[in-house]
Structure 1
Amino acid sequence: MKEIIKIENLNKTYDTGAIQVHALRGINLTIHEGEYVAIMGQSGSGKSTLMNILGCMDRQFSGTYELDGISIAQQSENQLSAIRNQKIGFVFQAFQLIPRTSALKNVEIPMIYAGMKADARKAKAAALLEKVGLGQRIHHMPNELSGGQKQRVAIARALANDPAIILADEPTGNLDTKASYEIMEFFTNLNKEGATVVVVTHEEEIAAYTDRIIRFQDGQIISDKKVVKGSC
């Protein structure tokens, strides 16, 4: 299977002047196309730092990180922006939707940056909202949607440019239990369709939806195991 993420001897240190904080210590990690992965760990374990690097928002590290065959450390800021837009679909805990902008327009945004023509992007955005069960809500504003509906808009937006990977950072953190499970079912179905999905979560029940759980502690991977369905 094709390697989507390949990390070798990844180290990240924050220098505060008074002390140095070793956020990541010699991480080696490979994620293949079509995998469904959870990254877990307590606050300060390194998982958020790793997500920033995976999302090409931080390239100040030692070691190597290749995303879909591209060496991230060697890219310019403009190249990184293009990679983020074309290769990565982001889903955040706080949804990150633009207020006073319809669901349809929110989903169109990545396609605008990609240069897609207006008619094509509107049609694709509407189809993606239909896919996530919001076909009747395309003209609603974020403040007219429930938390679960907002996250579905965010998922539709993440799929806009057919990314190589979906990175979901605590995607159920602001949702009630029912909406959380619905969102994870969406990710599960997307994975069954072939999407590569990486979810950061601190909830065992959420991680149990995935097929592989990678646990972090003190900047290191302490376990990397396949999920036995029915347990976590």
Structure 2
Amino acid sequence: MKEIIRIEHLNKYYDTGAIQVHALRGINLSVYEGEYVAIMGQSGSGKSTLMNILGCMDRQFEGVYELDGISISGQNEDQLSAIRNKKIGFVFQAFQLIPRTSALKNVEIPMIYGGMKGEERHERAKQLLEKVGLGARIHHMPNELSGGQKQRVAIARALANSPAIILADEPTGNLDTRSSHEIMDFFTELNKEGATVIVVTHEEDIAACTKRIIRFQDGQIIQDERVVKEEC
């Protein structure tokens, strides 16, 4: 099985002026192609810090982080931007959709940065929105969509460039219970199709939908368990 993420002896420090905070303490972690992983922990546990590093938004760390065979610490900002666009599909708690832009155009954005031509880009965005059940909403603006529908647009956008991983940061945090389960059902289906999905969450019922739960406390992994379940 292909190793998508390799982390060795990862340490992260924050200087607050008066003191130095050791946010991540010697993390060793591998994630393989096709895994469905939840990263859990209370506020201040290190999970958000790790998420920023996994998402290539922070390269100021000690140790090794390789994403799909690429060493992240050695990349400049332009290279990191290209890696984020091609290798990572982001899904955020607050959706991060452009307000005055249709669902279709929002999904097209990563493909624009990736250099895909207009007609091909348009067709792929349409197909992805149909995949998440929004084929009849492609021209709707974000303010015309429910929270669950906005997150489906975000998932379609995350899939735009066929990324190595889908990284979801508290993806159900702004949703009601029904919409939360619908979104996790989408992630489950994507994983069944072969996608590598990493969900950062503090909710036990959301983590229970995944197949592997990694728990953080005080900057360290305190538990890494694999869970075999047929359905969420």
Q: TM-score range by the shorter chain?
A: over 0.9
TM-score calculated relative to the size of structure 1: 0.99
1:131-172 per-residue CA deviation (whole Å, 9 max, x = no partner) reads 000000000000000000000000000000000000000000
Shift in CA distance, 177/58, structure 1 to aligned 2, threshold 3 Å: same
Residue number in structure 2 paired with 1:160? 160
Contact kept, 8 Å, 1:208 with 1:231, in 2: the verdict is: no
Paired residues of 1:11 and 1:61 also in contact (CA < 8 A):
yes
Deviation at 1:227, TM superposition (A): 1.5
Q: Tell me the amino acid that sits aligned with residue 203 of structure 1.
A: E
In structure 2, the partner of 1:13 is: 13
Structure 2 match to 1:126: 126
Corresponding position of 2:193 = 193
Q: In 2, are the aligned partners of 1:125 and 1:160 still within 8 Å (CA)? A: yes
How far off its partner does 1:38 sit? 0.1
Hey, what's the Cα distance between the residues in 1 that align with 2:229 and 2:161?
31
> 2:170 maps to which residue?
170
Query: Could you tell me whether the CA contact under 8 Å between 2:59 and 2:73 is conserved in 1?
Result: yes
Please report how far the alpha carbon of residue 102 of structure 1 lies from its aligned counterpart in structure 2 after TM superposition: 0.1
1:49-97 residue CA offsets vs partner (Å, 9 max, x unmatched): 0000000000000000000000000011100000000000000000000
Q: Secondary structure at the match of 1:105?
A: helix
* C-alpha displacement of 1:231: 11
CA distance in 1, matches of 2:111, 2:229: 36
User: What is the letter of the counterpart of residue 207 of structure 1?
Assistant: A
Partner of 2:102: 102
Q: After superposition, where does 1:1-232 map in structure 2 within 5 Å?
A: 1-229=1-229
Rate the CA distance shift 1:135–1:230 in 2: closer, same or farther, 3 A: closer
Runs of 4+ aligned residues of structure 1 deviating over 6 Å after TM superposition are none
**Paired residue secondary structure (2:73):** helix
| Amino acid of the structure 1 residue aligned with 2:174 | N
CA distance in 2, matches of 1:124, 1:178: 28
Tell me how far apart the structure 2 counterparts of residues 42 and 135 of structure 1 sit (CA, whole Å). Answer: 38
| Cα distance in 2 between the residues matched to 1:145 and 1:21 | 41
- CA contact under 8 A between 2:209 and 2:231: conserved in structure 1? no
SS of the residue corresponding to residue 216 of structure 1 reads strand
Give distance in 2, aligned partners of 1:79 and 1:8. 22
- The DSSP-based 3-state class of the residue aligned with 2:215 is strand
Q: How far apart, CA to CA, are the structure 2 residues paired with 1:59 and 1:116?
A: 28
Contact 1:59 1:73 in 2 (8 A): yes
Structure 1: distance between partners of 2:65 and 2:220? 16
Q: CA 1:223 to 1:172, structure 2 compared with 1: closer, same or farther past 3 Å?
A: same
Rounded Cα–Cα distance in structure 2 between residues aligned with 1:230 and 1:166: 21
Quick check: 2:167–2:197 contact (8 Å CA) kept in 1? Answer: yes
Distance 2:231 2:174 in 1: 24
Deviation per CA, 1:180-210, whole angstroms, max 9, x where unpaired?
0000000000000000000001111000110
Unaligned 5+ segments in structure 1 are none
Query: TM-score with structure 2 length normalisation?
Result: 0.99
State the 1:229 CA deviation.
Answer: 3.0
